[in-house]
């Protein structure tokens, strides 16, 4: 258990959270913006979601890299990913108006 904790709090874990965690969170946020965007047709909604892609990824990447430990970086990514996934699920499963 100590080895697992040491690996989770290591620099490699923080970098993995910054690269992969930020990418997954960014995809979930892009989908959420595309589904929630109230203006225009489908193409405009997709462009609106895609416009923010790099900004989200860069911000999440640096936020994860600024974490003192790898576990903290993963918790930061999960704190964004879980609400974004819930919003995605609600918009995809809920009634379409």
Write down the pLDDT at residue 96.
66
**Are the beta carbons of 36 and 83 closer than 8 angstroms?**
no
Q: How crowded is residue 71: how many other Cβ atoms within 10 Å of its Cβ?
A: 16
**pLDDT one-digit tens code per residue, 6-52:** 777 788 889 999 999 999 999 999 888 888 888 878 888 888 888 88
Q: How far apart are CA 43 and CA 92, in angstroms?
A: 17
**pLDDT one-digit tens code per residue, 42-77:** 888 888 888 888 999 999 999 999 999 999 999 999
Torsional class of 40: left (φ above 0), alpha (ψ -120 to 50), beta (otherwise): left
Mean pLDDT (the chain) is 88
What value, to the nearest 5°, has the Cα angle with vertex 92 and ends 48 and 56? 35
Write down the pLDDT at residue 7.
77
Write down the pLDDT at residue 67.
93
User: What residue spans define the domains of the chain?
Assistant: 15-93
Write down the pLDDT at residue 33.
86
Q: How far apart are CA 38 and CA 82, in angstroms?
A: 22
């Amino acid at each position: 258990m100590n080895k697992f904790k040491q690996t989770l709090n290591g620099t490699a874990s923080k970098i993995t959270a910054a690269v992969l965690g930020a990418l997954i969170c960014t995809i979930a946020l892009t989908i959420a913006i595309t589904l929630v965007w109230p203006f225009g047709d489908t193409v405009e909604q997709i462009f609106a979601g895609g416009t923010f892609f790099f900004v989200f990824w860069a911000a999440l990447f640096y936020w994860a890299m600024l974490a003192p430990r790898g576990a903290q970086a993963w918790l930061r990514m999960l704190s964004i990913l879980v609400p974004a996934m819930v919003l995605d699920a609600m918009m995809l499963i809920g009634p379409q108006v």
